[in-house]
Structure 1
Amino acid sequence: MHRWTLALLTAGLLATTATGCAGTTTTPGTSASSTPRTTNSAAETLRLAEQLLIKTCMEKEGHKYWIEPPRPQDVSTRFPYVVDDPAWASAHGYGTDLRRERERQVRSDPNQRYFHSVPAEARAVLVSDLNGARPQGLSARLPNGLRVTHSDQGCQATAERQLYGDLQAWFRATRVTDSLAGTRVGLVTGDKRYKAAVKVWARCMRERTYTYADPARARAAATLPQTPWPHDKEVRLASAEAACAVSSGLKSVAASLDSEYRARLQRGHPRETADLARLKREALPRARAIVAQDD
């Protein structure tokens, strides 16, 4: 049975449905009152071009749409194994300050305000025009055997088709390669070399009066309680974690294992890895032209 959770604010990510599991719940975007048209990376050029194409499409359908800015990485994406940047930790701890700021931005997001300003019956039309009416037309089998699907209609699909050409290949390549990230983290944290480095890290933490067996437990202690930790307390723990990550060698071990397993997983899925690189490479000139035209 398919479940499909959609939100207007998720233009940056294709909402997907998975056979045999709960539907994907997408994450709201952040405020987009203004978006710079100059970009410093290929990834940002592609992202901005896609947003501009979505905006054009939605306006043709009679809707308003504001360009979504890049979503900042959360701490689990930035530091999947251990907080290993002492300067970042001393400023943000485990990033709860940044999360609160993102939540504030979401509440003021112009797309969200617009979505909630229209009558209820019009919201369904907005979602359909953005994401397509049904999760049909695109399909990919993930490495774990799960099949995910998405509509090949709607402004999101239209924008990606214009930008990348082969929409089915793009959907399959992005879904498969994205799924490998979680697999890679599991392989790294399950590796005996990582576990050995964590033991050294834990000894370092005990010397600093913290008795957490691994970084995941330290992070959970600071970020999961119903009563949030004071920022300075969170910073002290995260700073100790980062210092020990460097001095114990856990940072270098995790980075080495991450590269090793990334390469191994890519070799195991050569078609999707090659397709993703090719489609991005071929789309980049089109993206640059789209962004330049909007300047």
Structure 2
Amino acid sequence: MRASRFVSTVALSMCVVAMGGCAEGAGGNDAGESRPVPRSTRAQDDLLKSAESALVRRCLTERKVALPPAQRGSANRTGTGSGTAQDQGAARQRQFPYGIDDPAWAAEHGFGSAAATGGGPDRGDGARDAPQAQPTQQAQPTQQAQQQAGQAPASKRQAAERQQRLADALFGIGRRELSTRTATGLVVTANSDGCLAEAQRVLYGDQARWFRAEVAVNNLEAAAHHRVTRDAAYRAALARWARCVAPVQKAEDPGELRNAWQRRARDLEPRQATGLQRRYAVAEARCVRSTDLAGTGARLEKRHAADVRAEYADLVADHRRMRERGLRHAVRHGL
């Protein structure tokens, strides 16, 4: 498998804007002294994203590549709007990595965010979607898309060309020089000649080392989850869950239960489909609770997470050292 980046104007805008800001900060106080490195992990993450954003924008300017207008509405949407709507969204997106274990929640929300996709982080079947690999490869346009582009108005063709130039400048072109494999077997590749790579080189000192360490660290949680679902203790709990839910719907795991609902829902009216979804979700939750499937998964994950971190200790330590370097560079140069 290879991670891919699909190029769109919004995605490219948000790639830079969502890194943590658009402008380069002064970074110093009235005496000209550098501000201290933030102490909290979240603040450090924000600083690194802001620094990457500033360096990427500087690189694009030097290459005479223009960014699209910032999607301010999208960028500022977080933290605004109705609190009730936010609470409802958070409730529907609640994650249950080893099956829904809250019957009351299931009765209200069904499968939640997993219902629309047939899975996701909370599918509960032990097969989370692709690990958090750093997407690096641009999707190549199909022949049909190219033909359509040739028939499009000049303004659309020009916009597509500008978008492609931006993608090339951001992520690089040609053969992807960097490659690494995650603990779950996903192969991730990247170019080393784009502005994102250049920003990482400036911040962390060695972009290739940062790439390997970042991909590894971002996939530790997925690796632990992957091991849990192959653990004999978890498989035994899952077998008990399957027997429990069988009177409602035969399924080997919660992911298969969602798939069964989707197949049946195609021939139902929306209200009937919603009712069936909630029925299945409640059955899942009651059986998860009675068999302790989620509790078993959570306990095993702690053990496997420790094992994974121990196996990748060198990369984790390398990642920490490069983060510290990046933070120092960011405050020293007012990024």
TM-score range, shorter chain: 0.5 to 0.7
- The alpha carbon displacement at 1:243 in A equals 3.8
Q: Is residue 201 of structure 1 aligned with residue 241 of structure 2?
A: yes
Structure with bigger gyration radius: 2
- The alpha carbon displacement at 1:250 in A equals 1.1
Mapped contact 2:184–2:226 kept (Cα < 8 A): no
Aligned pairs (5 A) from 1:223-238: 223=262, 227=266, 230-238=273-281
Q: Is residue 154 of structure 1 aligned with residue 203 of structure 2?
A: no
Task: Give CA-to-partner distance per residue, 1:41-90, whole Å, 9 cap, x none.
Answer: 247514454345434543553312437859999x9994443234556643
C-alpha distance 178-251 of structure 1, shift in aligned 2 (>3 A) = same
**What is the match of residue 41 of structure 1?**
42
Q: Is residue 83 of structure 1 aligned with residue 85 of structure 2?
A: no
SS of 2:180's equivalent in the other structure is strand
**What's the TM-score once normalised by structure 1's chain length?**
0.64
Q: Count the aligned residue pairs.
A: 257
**What is the match of residue 135 of structure 2?**
none
Q: Which has the higher contact order (CA 8 A, sep 6+)?
A: 2
Equivalent residue in structure 2 for 1:265, among 296, 300, 308: 308
Structure 1 unmatched ranges of 5 or more: 12-27, 100-114
Task: Give CA-to-partner distance per residue, 1:207-254, whole Å, 9 cap, x none.
Answer: 6x3332322211322357793873343233224323432342111110
Equivalent residue in structure 2 for 1:54, among 53, 56, 69: 56
- The alpha carbon displacement at 1:130 in A equals 0.9
Matched-pair identity in %: 29
Mapped contact 1:50–1:160 kept (Cα < 8 A): yes
Distance 1:280 1:254 in 2: 31
Mapped contact 2:65–2:165 kept (Cα < 8 A): no
Distance 1:218 1:278 in 2: 44
Task: Give CA-to-partner distance per residue, 1:66-124, whole Å, 9 cap, x none.
Answer: 37859999x9994443234556643362415776xxxxxxxxxxxxxxx9674444333
Task: Give CA-to-partner distance per residue, 1:190-210, whole Å, 9 cap, x none.
Answer: 211001211332344346x33
- The alpha carbon displacement at 1:128 in A equals 0.9
C-alpha distance 156-8 of structure 1, shift in aligned 2 (>3 A) = farther
SS of 2:189's equivalent in the other structure is strand
Mapped contact 2:98–2:293 kept (Cα < 8 A): no
Equivalent residue in structure 2 for 1:64, among 64, 67, 70: 67
